[in-house]
Amino acid sequence: MSDIRIAVLGAGGRMGRALIRTIEATNGAVLAGASDRAGSEVIGQDAGVLAGARAANVKIVDDVAAAFAQADVAIDFTAPGALDAHLAAARATKTALVIGTTGLQAPQESAIAAFAKDFPVIRSANYSVGVTLLRALVRQAATVLGPDYDAEIVEMHHNAKVDAPSGTALALGRAVAAGRNVQLENVWVKERDGHTGAREPGTIGFATLRGGDVAGDHTVYFAAAGERLELGHRATSREVFATGAVRAALWVAKQKPGLYDMDDVLGLT
């Protein structure tokens, strides 16, 4: 069976470089393209060398369609503002997508769903295998414990992260809401300040911390009188996200058109 050819968007960033190193180390995967924003100092450099791996003979370009040209699937962990252009390029080149960009708005989610009608795409807020399993455990716990247990989600990330709560925290919140058979948007509490009064039963709270170079810490608390259950995950390196994303790329490249997530990749659905 031939290798799956993968393109990496945002190749000059920390996540992009981790993805390139992971592709290099993964059997059945080969780097076929790499792009970064126009004007970036990494344009024209060898993607493998830049990432700290061996030379890949793949130059980083600022033309996304050119990066897609030889790829079966592309991995996108860039910025929400770039999504429309990336979807258009993927459609033009018939390239499957693995999307890890967070902070997307409803119109962008709709655009991904429209793309998925014609091409396979994975959309996930977190590609860690551990976090994927955590979501399943959180949903199960929420189902068993019910709304009598207060649910709170605490997350911490590095000081350069621009969206809050994190996409993973929101995904965990949706897991709690699914376990309770409610819509997260109807019960979430994203901030507390001043004299807030007592906590409303059935709500799902979020707390956001930012500092240092934290790759990603998430803890879900279920608290009731006399006991507290904590389910959590701590990422110490971006490599765990890169490993999961490359695993997802190898999987989605062989799928029919549709919108998938990491549950599908791991067979948890």
Residue 269 has pLDDT above 90, yes or no: no
For the chain, give the secondary structure using H, E and C. Answer: CCCEEEEEECCCCHHHHHHHHHHHHCCCEEEEEEECCCCCCCCCCEHHHHHCCCCCCCECECCHHHHHCCCCEEEECCCHHHHHHHHHHHHHHCCEEEECCCCCCHHHHHHHHHHHCCCEEEECCCCCHHHHHHHHHHHHHHHHHHHHCEEEEEEEECCCCCCCCCHHHHHHHHHHHHHHCCCHHHHEECCCCCCCCCCCCCCEEEEEEECCCCCEEEEEEEEECCEEEEEEEEECCCHHHHHHHHHHHHHHCCCCCEEECHHHHHCCC
Residue of 157, 190, 218, 233 marked active site: 157
Q: Band the pLDDT of 201: cuts 50, 70, 90.
A: very high
- What pLDDT, on the 0 to 100 scale, is given for residue 19? 97
101 appears as a binding residue in the annotation: yes
Q: Band the pLDDT of 268: cuts 50, 70, 90.
A: confident
Residue 238 has pLDDT above 90, yes or no: no
219 appears as a binding residue in the annotation: no
- What pLDDT, on the 0 to 100 scale, is given for residue 74? 98
Closest CA to 207 of 157, 137, 136: 157
Rounded percentage of the chain residues whose pLDDT exceeds 90: 94
Q: What is the pLDDT of residues 223-232, one digit of tens each?
A: 999 999 999 9
167 appears as a binding residue in the annotation: yes
126 appears as a binding residue in the annotation: yes
- What pLDDT, on the 0 to 100 scale, is given for residue 1? 59
Q: What is the pLDDT of residues 163-191, one digit of tens each?
A: 999 999 999 999 999 999 999 999 999 99
Q: Clarify whether 233 is annotated catalytic.
A: no
Q: What is the CATH number of domain 129-235?
A: 3.30.360.10
Q: What is the pLDDT of residues 78-110, one digit of tens each?
A: 999 999 999 999 999 999 999 999 889 999 999
100 appears as a binding residue in the annotation: yes
81 appears as a binding residue in the annotation: no
**Is the sign of the CA dihedral 219, 166, 50, 129 positive or negative?**
positive
Q: Clarify whether 157 is annotated catalytic.
A: yes
Q: Band the pLDDT of 6: cuts 50, 70, 90.
A: very high
Contact 56, 47 (CB under 8 A): yes
Dist CA 68 CA 114 (whole Å):
19
Residue 252 has pLDDT above 90, yes or no: yes
Residue of 161, 190, 218, 256 marked active site: 161
CATH topology of domain 4-123+238-266: Rossmann fold (3.40.50)
Task: Tell me the domain boundaries of the chain.
Answer: 4-123+238-266, 129-235
218 appears as a binding residue in the annotation: no
In degrees, rounded to 5, the angle at the alpha carbon of residue 128 between the alpha carbons of residues 26 and 219 is 160
- What pLDDT, on the 0 to 100 scale, is given for residue 184? 98
Rounded percentage of the chain residues whose pLDDT exceeds 70: 100
Q: What is the pLDDT of residues 45-69, one digit of tens each?
A: 999 999 999 999 999 999 999 999 9
Residue 125 has pLDDT above 70, yes or no: yes
